[in-house]
Amino acid sequence: MADKTPAGRFITLEGGEGAGKSTNLEYIRTQLESAGIPVVVTREPGGTQLSEQIRKLLLDTGNTEMSSDAELLLMFAARAQHLKQFILPALQQGTWVLCDRFTDATYAYQGGGRGIDNERIAILEEWVQQGFQPDITILFDLPVEVGLDRASNRGQLDRFEQEQQLFFERVRAAYLARAEQQPQRFRIIDADQPLDNVQSQLDGVMTQLLSKTGSIE
């Protein structure tokens, strides 16, 4: 998979609960479309009919007995289908792909949150992705208590959103550790700001990205 150079760009958005990924994903899509770039939006887990069915299993609050290993394997099962059926075909056609969460979320939630060893996650990552990585990952970072307060105002909480604050503190720490380890790929956005300020930060990231592709002067 890694030896096939996609024509499009793969941009992932990451962050804890209530970080504003969904709102800003639409903002980024508008930016790209305005620049004349073909773009599609997707999410993980999900993105295909099969992967969305797996998503329902993962988020169902009734699945309280799901083991951490089962959760991890389901995440990568959904990802394998998503890559083969949706992400890679779009990139190979020259379309840019915006994805709400990808493998960094697995390291954050199943690794940091659940405590699964990163080496075990890496084995599945290599098996499913064969070296494939996002071109850029935008991490929306904010204090956990702020994000949980925002998430609580969205309505009924899913199986992950019902976790305790300590779980999400570990998730945040894992995300920031990933960003520190791979600074060439990550761009950190201070999401504990008014929306205008957040999107101003995004403007800087997108200007840099588009200038590298020759889409802007």
Integer Cα distance of 160 and 157 in angstroms: 8
Peptide bond preceding 194: is omega within 30 degrees of 0, i.e. cis? no
pLDDT of residue 108: 98
Euclidean distance between the first and the last CA atom of the chain, given in angstroms as a whole number: 32
* pTM score of the predicted model: 0.92
Let me know: does 111 contact 125? Beta carbons within 8 Å.
no
pLDDT at 67 over 90: yes
Per-residue pLDDT for 107 more than 80?
yes
Tokens 């969305």 locate to 52
**From CA 46, how far away is CA 43, in angstroms rounded?**
6
Quick: pLDDT tens for 14-30. Answer: 999 889 998 999 999 99
Say which residue the tokens 């915006």 belong to.
Answer: 98
Q: What percent of the chain has pLDDT over 70?
A: 95
Buried b (16+ CB within 10 A) or exposed e, 53-74: ebbebbeeeeeeeeeeeebbeb
Residues 6+ apart with CB under 8 A from 101: 12, 13, 14, 21, 43, 44, 45
pLDDT digits (tens, 9 = 90+) for 161-216: 888 899 999 999 999 999 999 999 999 999 999 999 999 999 999 998 888 766 54
Res 214: pLDDT:
60
Please return the burial class of 175, using the count of CB atoms within 10 Å of its CB with bins 0-12, 13-18 and 19+: buried
pLDDT score, position 215: 55
In 47-164, alpha helices (H): 49-59, 68-82, 88-92, 103-106, 118-129, 144-152
pLDDT at 163: 84
Q: What is the pLDDT of residue 49?
A: 98
| Mean pLDDT (the chain, rounded) | 92
